Structure 1
Amino acid sequence: MLLDIVILAAGKGTRMKSSLPKVLHKVGGHSLLSHVLGAAKALESDNINIIIGHGAEIVRSEFSEEPVNFIEQTEQLGTGHAVQQALPYLRDNATALVLYGDVPLTPTATLRELLEQVREDAMSLLTVELDDPTGYGRILRNAQGNASAIVEQKDASKDQLAICEVNTGIMAVPTALLKEWLPNLSNENAQGEYYLTDVVEMASSNHIDINIVQADDEMDVLGVNNRVQQAELERYYQSVQAMILLEEGVSLLDPDRFDCRGELSAGSDVTIDVNCVFEGIVEIGNNVYIGPNCVITDSKIGDNTTIKANSVLEDTVIAGDSDIGPFARLRPGTELGKGAKIGNFVETKKAKVGEGSKINHLSYVGDAELGTGVNVGAGTITCNYDGVNKSKTTIGDGAFIGSNTSLVAPVTVASEATVGAGSTVAKDVAEGELAVARAKQRNIANWQKPVKK
């Protein structure tokens, strides 16, 4: 099937009360429009058109790398008018699928089913059953079970108001028919707008079958018009992600307090405590425990690793058998060898920490390479920045760095060397040497403590 896709993304979203275009607000860490675009790309169309209007340049910029055609709707005169803007870019022998940039979670499988119902003499419409259909256009069906009309709330009879099946606006139509119908839309209505839904009546009057596909869940077709709906969709999205992980054998101690804002894969016997957030692409090995309130972004966590409470990891690779936290911050470029330990209130950045090495407490290690079996004492800092340039600290295998040490880079502490506590080391330390660099202690007898004036 030759497929043309039109995504309507021109609205301002006044009820969002934001200067950001509505379609760029996020659910699950991705913009509403990126969700829709992802579904569109999965359908393998080579002609995806996005109708933009409010904040057009911001939307263009956000998706500048995507293989899509942007069409600007300078005046927002309704959904029918929006699709009219795309007509010159649609192929006569194609099927046109109309999607909405603020309806982010429609499954690709549902859209495929919708497309399967299209023929030269038949269009298809996506509907949904609502417990409370108030405000929505009701679907009227004929004896064959196809749609015959959409009746708006204000025009519906008492019997029609009892119908719970409503229109979602998502439809698939032979492009040739769209090109015939859209120029004939009228804006003689209370809003003075051109409605895409009017093509349903045109199809019915032209004896074109209107096949119906019904969404499995109303959340699959819920649009975001305000912050309340955005929050509803966020929790629904997260519940789906949690259920997928649970079914794959991951233990979530409270699925309602879990957030995946990217792609998360996990091995067996993984436990994730409450209030953890995963962003970007995160890979977790086997037998991993992640404590409460952790934020993990674009990282790989090896087998048998424990990440304790309130730790933050970004762009980090952990080989395995490691112990992290609590309150550790591993910044981009951190690589931990097998069995490495990063303790409480330790920050690393662009640091390679060798197998079995330990940075246990209250330290900053940045732009550094540590060998195997290194012990870094509490309060140690690699002084990697001179105000202009970043420099590297190298610590060899088995070295011991005493507490409250400042290592002024560029500097090398060789294998099996020792640095005494409280030292400021600005020169290289050779293998096996002891470096002590601190002021001589003086004890002053009969010292008079200051008194408050």
Structure 2
Amino acid sequence: MENCAVILAAGEGKRMKSRHPKVLCEVLFKPMLEWVIDAAHGAGLNDLCVVTGHLHREVEEFLQALAARRPQFPPPEHVLQSEQRGTAHAVRMAQDFLRRHSGGSVLILNGDAPFLSPEVIGGALRDHLKSGRDVTVISAEPENPFGYGRIVRDKTTGAVAAIVEEKDADETTRKIREINSGAYWFQADSLLPILSKIRNENAAGEYYLPDAVKLLISEHRRAGAFKTQDGSVVLGANDRGQLNQLNSIARGRVMARLMADGVDIPCPDGIMVGPDVTVGPDTRVLPGCILSGSTSVGSGCIIGPNTVLIDTSVGSGCTLCSVHCKGASVRDGESLKPFTVLHA
């Protein structure tokens, strides 16, 4: 049976103070949910189910538009969590989807965690299957583990013995730096019967997915953790300040990648480049430029200052100074006059 993924995207995100769903807030002009879907696809997962909730129609319309832009992938399914009653309750909404993947493994991940990479997803799956586990938690050691559930391991076997939430942790447990990222690989046939056993006996009256791990451990099922060296996999955004931090991290990574590929960025001030943008070597990008969407730029170009390119194809040897292009195509060697506006 083919492996699959369930993406949790039902949360309201009140602290964002947005009229739109939190998972559609953007990191480098790309919705966080799209980052997550791309990571799943990059790890070879084609069967996806997105659990929607708050402003679900907007999320569903986004999924429909994304499917139209990505015909090479099956359209993600979606199910509705009409009441937000916790992460385990959200996964219950996808039980029919899980039953169709009986015999396979299912990745559960959050729709607002844009830095979980295909490499980490794939590495965790290989470890999960090789170890024959019922559940594998994707864990990390961030600089500051405060607020996260701690991974407590068996001192003899190294298996996961418990996930202890911050509020429940004693002083010794709080010193543990390995934390739960909120992403898990489950055997679908192990997860399904456990979901109905999870109780909401907590202050919030919600059903939490880490309790599925606790119950599996109590039934002497195999539980482990795949620890990634990338502490950013745990990062999400609950407010605009945290969203700004995600943008700063992503921007730094994209700029480093471009310069490693031979792109000349003499001064990065005011330059924003989306994660899916490609730029050829010996192209110079000057301050005040925004390149987003599926934009591609050839080699030996001068871009900027103060140029905006959205979903635009630029050939090699072009000069674009103070221009605005959206859905346009610029031929090799072509130079546009300053203040030119090209829209498809």
The alpha-carbon deviation at position 75 of structure 1 amounts to 1.1
Matched-pair contact (CA < 8 Å) for 1:304–1:321: yes
Partner of 1:106: 116
Deviation per CA, 1:36-72: give whole Å up to 9, x if none. Answer: 1122223333431111111011111111253122111
Among 256, 264, 279, the alignment partner of 1:243 is 256
Partner of 1:179: 192
CA RMSD of aligned residues (A): 1.9
1:170-249 superposed matches below 5 A: 170-249=183-262
Helix, strand or coil at the partner of 1:331: strand
Q: Size of the alignment, in residue pairs?
A: 331
Helix, strand or coil at the partner of 2:233: helix
TM-score (norm 1): 0.69
The alpha-carbon deviation at position 262 of structure 1 amounts to 5.6
Among 92, 115, 129, the alignment partner of 2:102 is 92
Helix, strand or coil at the partner of 1:281: coil
State percent identity of aligned pairs.
31
Matched-pair contact (CA < 8 Å) for 1:117–1:211: no
The alpha-carbon deviation at position 320 of structure 1 amounts to 3.5
Matched-pair contact (CA < 8 Å) for 2:200–2:208: yes
Q: Which moved more, 1:282-291 or 1:18-27?
A: 282-291
TM-score (norm 2): 0.90
Larger strand proportion, structure 1 or 2?
A: 1
Deviation per CA, 1:214-255: give whole Å up to 9, x if none. Answer: 233222221111111111111111111111111110011234
1:277 and 2:290 correspond = yes
Larger helix proportion, structure 1 or 2?
A: 2
Structure 2, unmatched stretches of 5+, are: 68-74
Partner of 1:68: 76
1:128 and 2:128 correspond = no
CA–CA separation in structure 1 for the residues paired with 2:133 and 2:320: 59
| Structure 2 CA distance for partners of 1:176 and 1:63, relative to 1, 3 Å | same
1:115 and 2:125 correspond = yes
The alpha-carbon deviation at position 171 of structure 1 amounts to 0.3
1:346-425 superposed matches below 5 A: none
Deviation per CA, 1:60-87: give whole Å up to 9, x if none. Answer: 1111253122111111111111111111
Matched-pair contact (CA < 8 Å) for 1:10–1:51: yes
Partner of 1:83: 91
Partner of 1:286: 299
Letter in 1 for 2:325: L
Partner of 1:353: none
Letter in 2 for 1:329: T
Q: Which moved more, 1:22-31 or 1:312-321?
A: 312-321
Deviation per CA, 1:114-152: give whole Å up to 9, x if none. Answer: 111224543211111122222211110112222110111
CA–CA separation in structure 1 for the residues paired with 2:330 and 2:165: 57
CA–CA separation in structure 2 for the residues paired with 1:299 and 1:60: 26
Matched-pair contact (CA < 8 Å) for 1:219–1:233: no
CA–CA separation in structure 2 for the residues paired with 1:134 and 1:266: 39
Helix, strand or coil at the partner of 2:296: strand
CA–CA separation in structure 1 for the residues paired with 2:335 and 2:200: 65
1:161-176 superposed matches below 5 A: 161-176=174-189
CA–CA separation in structure 2 for the residues paired with 1:111 and 1:256: 34
The alpha-carbon deviation at position 263 of structure 1 amounts to 3.1
CA–CA separation in structure 2 for the residues paired with 1:97 and 1:262: 23
The alpha-carbon deviation at position 264 of structure 1 amounts to 2.5
Among 302, 319, 329, the alignment partner of 1:306 is 319
Structure of greater Rg: 1
CA–CA separation in structure 2 for the residues paired with 1:290 and 1:97: 41
Structure 1, unmatched stretches of 5+, are: 334-453
CA–CA separation in structure 1 for the residues paired with 2:16 and 2:149: 23
Q: Which moved more, 1:42-51 or 1:228-237?
A: 42-51
Q: Which moved more, 1:39-48 or 1:286-295?
A: 39-48
Q: Which moved more, 1:108-117 or 1:200-209?
A: 200-209
Partner of 1:405: none
